[in-house]
Amino acid sequence: MSDQNTKKRILKAAGKEFFTKGFKAATVRDICAEADANVAAVNYHFGDKRKLYLQVLNMWMNEMMSHLSTQEEQFLSLSPKEKLRIYVHNELRALCIFDDPEKKRKRKIRLLLEEYVSEDCDPELFKCHDIVEEKVLFPLVREILHPLEDSHILEQACMAASGVLVHHFLAIIHYPEGEIESEDKLEFLTDFYTNFILGSLKGIKDKYHV
């Protein structure tokens, strides 16, 4: 079998082991047994267990971000509120369980968030989401706050708008009521967070724009 096939089998097996056991409990030996590969193959293809784990997380991250990839093309002719609503809807879509009854996405989100707050987090892992924020959310926040030009206020406003949604992602880890179990709840939360962010930005604009 080719090296490429071996690498794919290891990556698939690692995804299964890390998903089920987490990073610490999963072992290279079990991963290789599942992949029908020798232990040395992990070091050869990935370097070590930690680097293999980051590859798996990167794969999951890209899966979750795939629905955002063409988002900016939809925005040009829309109002700021419509743009924000699409952004919020697409972000919250990852939390839906009505099409994911085994809550596999939630498990992946938990492991991604654990990595996000770890001291040795690799920032490259979340760069794909940072790019979407920089290309879509942050310009939108600046558009809503125009003609406010204070760079410090604009930066804080962008962080706050992003943080509202990040907090909901963090909340579902410990509070199941944050899960989105129906299309109706997805629409409700989309409208709620859209109006919440818009109202907050209006308050910022009223306060700081002279």
Does the residue 168 lie in any domain? yes
Q: Give how many domains the chain has, as a whole number.
A: 2
Same domain, 100 and 170: yes
- Give the CATH number for residue 186: 1.10.357
Does the residue 54 lie in any domain? no
Mean pLDDT of the chain: 91
Query: Each residue of 55-97: pLDDT tens digit?
Result: 999 999 988 887 665 455 666 788 999 999 999 999 999 889 9
- DSSP line for 66-122: GGGTTGGGG-TTS-HHHHHHHHHHHHHGGGB-TT-TT-HHHHHHHHHHHHHTSTT--
Does the residue 143 lie in any domain? yes
Same domain, 117 and 175: yes
Give the per-residue pLDDT at 70: 47
Does the residue 102 lie in any domain? yes
Joined together, the tokens standing for residue 99 give 């099409």
By residue range, what is the domain housing residue 7? 3-47
- Reported in sequence order, the residue ranges of the chain that DSSP labels E, i.e. its strands, are none
Average pLDDT over residues 39-45: 94
Does the residue 57 lie in any domain? no
Quick check: bond before 123 cis, omega within 30?
A: no
pLDDT band at 104 (very low <50, low <70, confident <90, very high): very high
